[in-house]
Amino acid sequence: MLDLNGKNALVTGIANNRSIAWGIAQQLHKAGANLGITFLPDDKGRFEKKVRELVEPLNPSIFVPCDVQNQEQIEATFATLADQWGKLDILIHCLAFADKEGLTGDFSAISREAFQQSLEISTYSLTRLAKYAKPLMTEGGSIVTLTYLGGVKVIPNYNLMGIAKAGLDMSVRYLAAELGPHNIRVNGISAGPIRTLASSAVGGILDMIHHVEKTAPLRRTVTQTEVGNTAAFLCSDLSSGITGQIIYVDAGYEIMGM
Ligand code: NAD
């Protein structure tokens, strides 16, 4: 049975009720996990208010700001986990960013600044968070990140994020190899295209969604709940033999040659 009772789970990346991280947090909660939620702080505190109201029904015992570009906030987040929980079992890394210039037009035009920023937020952050999670995962653990096919094959306009996801996929494997002896598993979920705040920045995302609906074996895209269910499985003992893998939750689109 899928049972996460007694497990402490930190979930990053909730922006609103369309966020994949929101789908994941709901399924972890349903399976009995105790939740900690981070949000991306902004000057006016709007994100904080919105996310706080959204997650309230899930009763998170920790709710803290964590901009992954901010080392102090990362350290403060894990200090709070150490203080209040003592141990961490689950880390959900469900965040990414690329400036709009990196998600449309010529790939060769991507600026150094946009490249560095995107790779720092979308790729390096997994490694950084894993570093701080490791000493708290004293009874083993599961780290799950979100990736996309555009890091393996060329998808129109995914451009800069494709490079970030390729690096993320490889980070999953290197982290899995390092952390395996500590019984910490690291896996990625490659989700099919879903309408969210982040995906709306990718040029032509609706065309991509329609293409998947027409050509994927299941003739549809996937939902945040379906991704959340797979994340809950990857965080549970039911997947105890799986690490270093990228699992496709994409209605089968990845197998197609068109
Ligand atoms: P979303 O906009 O709901 O989530 C993106 C999150 O990243 C937001 O919560 C945002 O606050 C956070 N974020 C951005 N910069 C940050 C920073 N500096 N520090 C901390 N958090 C930061 O969109 P989503 O589609 O749910 O994206 C979640 C993950 O899923 C991303 O990694 C995305 O690439 C991946 N993904 C999305 C799709 C899709 O089609 N939506 C498909 C495959 C993979």
**90 in a labelled binding site:** no
Residue 186 has pLDDT above 80, yes or no: yes
Instruction: Give nearest CA residue, ligand 1 atom 41.
Output: 194
Tokens of 113: 């600044």
Catalytic residue among 132, 158, 248, 253: 158
The domains found in the chain, sorted by start residue, are 8-249 (3.40.50.720)
Residue 119: the pLDDT is 98
pLDDT tens string 64-106: 999 999 999 999 999 999 999 999 999 999 999 999 999 999 9
Q: Which residue has the tokens 């996937």?
A: 222
Residue 147: the pLDDT is 98
215 CB burial (10 A radius; 0-12, 13-18, 19+): middle
What is the β-pairing status of strands 90-93 and 8-11?
Answer: parallel
149 Cβ neighbours under 8 A, 6+ residues apart: 155, 190, 248, 250, 253, 254
For the chain, give the mean pLDDT: 97
**165 in a labelled binding site:** yes
227, 188 Cβ separation under 8 angstroms? no
pLDDT tens string 114-171: 999 999 999 999 999 999 999 999 999 999 999 999 999 999 999 999 999 999 999 9
Name the β-bridge partners of 62. Answer: 36
Residue 1 has pLDDT above 90, yes or no: no
The DSSP call for residue 32 is T
Ligand 1 pocket check: which of 20, 155, 157, 249 to mutate, most ligand atoms within 8 Å of Cβ?
20
249 lines ligand 1 (CB under 6 A): no
Residue 60 has pLDDT above 90, yes or no: yes
Residue 74: the pLDDT is 98
Task: Supply the pTM of this predicted model.
Answer: 0.98
Residue 258 has pLDDT above 80, yes or no: no
| Other beta carbons within 10 Å of 226 | 19
Residue 203 has pLDDT above 80, yes or no: yes
